A and B are shown apart, each in its own frame.
Chain A
């Protein structure tokens, strides 16, 4: 950047270069999953053969991951939403401390959390060998995202007034919570749920340590296919991952725009 005059050309050029670096592998991988032979490229013709082979061999990882992600969302809703409310309303030092602790699994590498879980509960064989073990890991990792997203919504001032009004009209806590509070923070709950879902579907660092040969998720299967299969299979499998994750991401983006518009 020694010559300031070059800057206007330099900036778009760098942007284009970075875009190619980011997008070329995605395009390449999608293409490689759809051609008959990767080394001959498009000339070998398009096929869905690799995708169907992936679904034969790894189809169970797709449904397992979807189910795990759904259960993570349910778990985060049950544990996280009431907790977010408590943390938003409480002024005690313990609440602040717990909020701080709760976010630690995000800051600490997944490997460390997984190792700790295995060392503590690895002896319980039925637990260790079931999907619940992975679910617990995913919940520990995703819970802070739900609590933070929903907690921010609970902290809004107009919501305090609304809750106060409902209380003065004689609504008990259950009525207030389900009738006033939850509907008011619903966009945040949906956003948090989509975030938890995406994080759970893509989680590898924890899951690789926690999985057993009988409990494999989509990313675990991906790592397996990359290591042992041909490039077409790996690419087709990556394409399957994209097809699973893209609708959720678009939903997340759409929701973000919606919330932005609503709040001016």
Chain B
């Protein structure tokens, strides 16, 4: 070992030691734990219909949320990148503010909108339709997940769309391309990388989202809540470990695949 590399080793040593002790070692134990209860525990999420149901719920919800987020975030991002008005920087910073909110706050927001005392209940009562509530069901979860995903998508798409090549679009237009053709042939290809990267992050975050679902104490069971219940209510550690492994592998894999499909743009998990 030469001197410079020893120096670098010494620089990295504290972080390596910390990470090994407080993440690697615990995770290795987490992986080993389900084996105590028999190898089948690893596959409980696939073999037990209750867990499988929860997994499919979570996958479906995350997928739909990702698609909705990409569509809305993309459209808003392109609009904001193209338009000029005085309040734009303020609007953009307000729209990205929720990035730093914990999931519980977003759950509470959904309760303010769709709970028993919510805004929508007041509105529908005023319209003579009775008090409509949606906070604690699938709709509430969907809107909550959408709420925490949109800021990232809006920020990413606004940045990506403002660096798009305007000449290409101009050329397409001057050749008589309709707006829809421009969108299809110019916008979508130029934003593909952004879409893959952002979609993977949104999907992974939705799969693992706990705070929002926890606040909404949902009737619609998602995997993080199932996992939490197994651990705290039933003290079923091996099973909770097995569910965490499943969840962790899915989120990691989606980010990993996106990174390899989209290149370095997706690294910002």
Binding site for B on A (CB under 8 A): 1, 4-5, 7, 11-12, 14-15, 18-19, 21-26, 28-29, 32, 38-39, 78-80, 82-83, 85-87, 89-90, 92, 95, 98, 101-113, 115-117, 119-121, 136, 139-140, 143, 147, 173, 198-199, 201-205, 208-209, 219, 222-223, 226-227, 231, 234-235, 238, 241, 245, 249, 253
Contact = CB atoms under 8 A, between A and B. Distances in A.
Contact of B100 (A15, A198, A227): A198
A86 B100 contact: no
Nearest to B17: A79
Contacts of A249: 97, 100
A52 B40 CA distance: 53
Contacts of A103: 269
27 contacts: A23-B94, A26-B97, A38-B117, A83-B11, A83-B12, A86-B8, A102-B19, A106-B269, A108-B251, A109-B244, A112-B27, A112-B245, A115-B240, A115-B241, A117-B22, A119-B237, A121-B26, A136-B22, A202-B100, A204-B103, A205-B208, A205-B210, A222-B102, A223-B211, A226-B107, A226-B108, A241-B105
Contacts of B104: 204, 219, 222-223, 226
Nearest to A222: B104
B191 interface: no
A139 B18 contact: yes
A111 B247 contact: yes
A226 B215 contact: yes
Contact of A98 (B16, B111, B244): B16
B174 interface: no
Contacts of A121: 26
B7 A173 contact: yes
B197 interface: no
B214 interface: yes
Interface of B: 4-5, 7-9, 11-12, 14-16, 18-19, 22-27, 29-30, 33, 72, 75-76, 78-80, 83, 91, 93-95, 97-98, 100-105, 107-113, 117, 119, 143, 147, 150-151, 154, 178-180, 183, 204, 207-211, 214-215, 217, 224, 227-228, 231, 237, 240-241, 244-245, 247-248, 251-252, 255-256, 269
B39 to A, nearest CB: 19
Given A79-B14, A109-B248, A7 B208 contact: no
A119 B247 contact: no
Given A22-B150, A25-B109, A139-B18, A107 B210 contact: no
A212 B210 CA distance: 18
Main secondary structure of the interface of A (DSSP, over half): helix
Contact of A79 (B15, B72, B94, B214): B15
A116 B180 CA distance: 50
A149 to B, nearest CB: 11
A90 B204 CA distance: 30
A119 B5 contact: no
A231 B9 contact: no
A7 B182 CA distance: 12
Given A14-B72, A103-B269, A143 B19 contact: yes
Contacts of B207: 109
Contacts of B255: 107
Given A111-B224, A111-B247, A119-B30, A202 B12 contact: no
B15 A147 contact: yes
A29 to B, nearest CB: 6
Among A23, A28, A98, A205, the most chain B Cβ lie within 10 Å of the Cβ of A205
B79 A109 contact: no
A134 to B, nearest CB: 12
A87 B9 CA distance: 9
B248 A208 contact: no
B79 A79 contact: no
Contact of B79 (A11, A23, A104): A11
B224 to A, nearest CB: 6
Contact of A95 (B12, B147, B183): B12
Nearest 10 Cβ contacts at the A-B interface:
A109-B208, A25-B109, A83-B15, A116-B26, A112-B244, A120-B26, A86-B12, A82-B11, A204-B102, A86-B11
